[in-house]
Amino acid sequence: MWPLPFATSCCGIEFMATMGSHYDISRFGAERPSFSPRQSDVLLVMGTIAKKMAPVVKQVYLQMAEPRWVVAVGACASSGGIFDTYSVLQGIDRVIPVDVYVPGCPPRPEQILDGLMQVQELAKGESLRRRESEEYRALLESYNILEKNDR
């Protein structure tokens, strides 16, 4: 499960601690965190997403290739966190579909690892035809994400 660490703020520092040797995310299959959307499986959105940044998150999500999963790490990414203000997006599930939410402010590295393991469970149990199914297409439609030519 190669992650794309989309680290914005404090949760990003906890991710750096998870990448360090004490908690070591590479034991869980995430040896190669890549910053290229085309080559990663999981989009880990860590930190507050402001409304100015939301189009960028959506763009990065669109550039990922199927199958792709999204983990919203931290309270800010899940629901806006403590920042209920005019400039903060109240959760990234306003713009992209999310698979796993990891609550916490910031979540401990063990929680981030648990989130990654949940994605692995989802991936194990997912049917091979899920990305073509009607339900998935309806989900993407509800986010205004067109299928082919997603630029």
Partner 1 sequence: MIDNQRLVEEIGGHFGEKVRQFGENSGILTFSIAPGDLTEVVAFLKEHPVLKFNFLTDITGIHFPDNEGAELCSVYMMHSWENRIRVRIKVFLPKENPVVPSLTPLFNAANWMERETFDFFGILFSGHPNLKRILNMEDMDYHPMRKEYALEDPTRRDKIDDLFGR
Partner 2 sequence: MTEKNTLVARTQEEALALNVPLQEENNYTTLNLGPTHPATHGIFQNILTMDGERIVSSDMTVGYIHRAFEKIAERRPFYQITTLTDRMNYCSSPINNMGWHMTVEKLLEITVPKRAQYIRVIMMELARIADHLICSSIMGVDTGAFSGFLYVMQEREKIYEIYEEMCGARLTTNMGRIGGMERDLSPTAIKKIKDLVYNSLPKVFAEFEELFDRNRIFRDRTIGVGAVSQEMAMSYGFTGPNLRAAGIDYDVRVMEPYSSYEDFEFDIPVGHNGDTYDRYKVRNAEVWESIKIVRQAIENLPEGPYYANENHYYLPPKHSVYRNMEALIYHFKIVMGEIDAPVGEVYHAVEGGNGELGFYLISDGGRTPYRLHFRRPCFIYYQAFGELIKGGTVSDAVPIMSSLNVIAGELDA
Q: Residues of 82-107 as b/e, b for ≥16 C-beta within 10 angstroms?
A: eeeeeebbbbbbbbbbbbbbbebebb
Interface with partner 2 (CB under 8 A): 6, 8-10, 12-14, 16-17, 19-22, 35, 47-48, 50, 52-53, 56, 60, 82-83, 85-88, 105-106, 108
Q: What are phi and psi of 71, to 5 degrees?
A: -120, 125
14 binds, among partner 1, partner 2, none (CB under 5 to 8 A by kind): partner 2
Which structure tokens are listed for 103? 């609550």
Cα 7 to Cα 1: distance, rounded to the nearest angstrom: 17
Using alpha carbons, list the distances in angstroms from residue 61 to 6, 56, 67.
10, 9, 11
In the bound complex, what is the minimum distance in angstroms from residue 99's beta carbon to partner 2?
20
Other CB atoms within 10 A of residue 64 CB: 21
**Contact partner, 46, from partner 2, partner 1, none, Cβ < 5-8 Å per class:** none
Residue number, 30 or 75, with CB nearest to partner 1: 75
> Closer CB to partner 2, residue 50 or residue 117?
50
Q: Report the nearest approach of partner 2 to the CB of residue 151 (Å).
A: 15
Question: In the complex, which residues of this chain contact partner 1 (CB under 8 A)?
Answer: 51-52, 84-87, 90
Question: CB of 88: closest distance to partner 1 in angstroms?
Answer: 8
* Residue 2: CB minimum distance to partner 2, A: 14
- Whether residue 45 contacts residue 72, with contact meaning beta carbons closer than 8 Å, is answered with yes
The angle formed by the CA atoms of residues 129, 150 and 131, to the nearest 5 degrees, is 10
Among partner 2, partner 1, none, residue 90 binds (CB under 5-8 Å by kind): partner 1
